[in-house]
Amino acid sequence: MQDVRIKVRENGPYLVTGRVELVDADGTPYSVEENFVLCRCGGSATKPFCDGSHKHNGFAAAERAPRHQE
């Protein structure tokens, strides 16, 4: 099985690479390719997938993971 990676894109969607199963709230699977993007801005007309709305709606987010404090 290929490793799965989810990358937080700057002021954009989550980029998912690798084989995963994506299911809705009822447990019904979506048909997805090995690479796809998930909306973070809430403005997509194709939720849960990104349609590029973040480019026009002023979406800004914190993309950097906080440093782990021991």
Count the domains in the chain.
1
Q: Which residues pair with 40 in a beta bridge?
A: none
69 lies in some domain? no
Looking at residue 28, what is its pLDDT? 97
- Region of 18 on the Ramachandran plot (φ > 0 left; ψ -120 to 50 alpha; else beta): left
Mean pLDDT of 49-68: 89
Q: Among 48, 65, 64, which Cα is nearest to 13's?
A: 48
CB atoms within 10 A of CB 10: 8
Domain that holds residue 43: 1-64
Q: Which residues pair with 6 in a beta bridge?
A: 16
pLDDT for residue 22 is more than 80 = yes
Residue appearing with tokens 């099985």? 1
What is the pLDDT of the chain when averaged over all its residues?
92
> CATH no. for residue 11?
3.40.5.90
Q: Under DSSP, is residue 56 helix (H, G, I), strand (E, B) or coil?
A: coil
Task: Give the pLDDT confidence of 42-55 residue by residue, as tens digits.
Answer: 999 999 999 999 99
- Confidence label for 2 from pLDDT (cuts 50, 70 and 90): low
Report which of residues 32 and 66 the model is more confident about.
32
